[in-house]
Amino acid sequence: MVDIKDVLSFNYYTYKKPFTGSDNGKRYRIVRLEKEVQAEEGTEPKKEVVFKAFLWKDFLAFEKTSEEEILTKEFEFTPDGLGEVVAWINETDVE
């Protein structure tokens, strides 16, 4: 089971570095992602910062695993959002 302290502090992710780990036959990767969000017509697109988490079976590296075999989910980029990432990793099975 992954604990919040296993994935480093929230401040680590403000430096835009990914974090990877493994637990009980699954691997995970957590990144800070800046994405453009479509704004109202006539205004410029806004940037939103989120956590993006990836989860896959523990036998291949991220780069060697096909996209179809990787589960992904986005979370709010906050300390609570990081807690939700950890909960998702613990609750989700990879088949």
SS3 63: helix
Confidence of residue 13 (pLDDT cuts 50, 70, 90): very high
How many angstroms separate the Cα of 54 from the Cα of each of 6, 38, 80? 16, 24, 18
Supply the pLDDT for residue 42: 76
Supply the pLDDT for residue 5: 93
pLDDT in tens, 29-84: 999 999 988 777 777 788 899 999 999 998 889 999 999 999 999 999 999 999 99
Supply the pLDDT for residue 51: 98
| CA proximity to 52, closest of 13, 15, 4, 22 | 13
- Backbone phi, then psi, for 62, in 5-degree steps? -55, -45
Sheet strand arrangement including 26-37: 19-23, 26-37, 46-57, 71-76
Q: Are 19 and 2 in contact (CB under 8 A)?
A: no
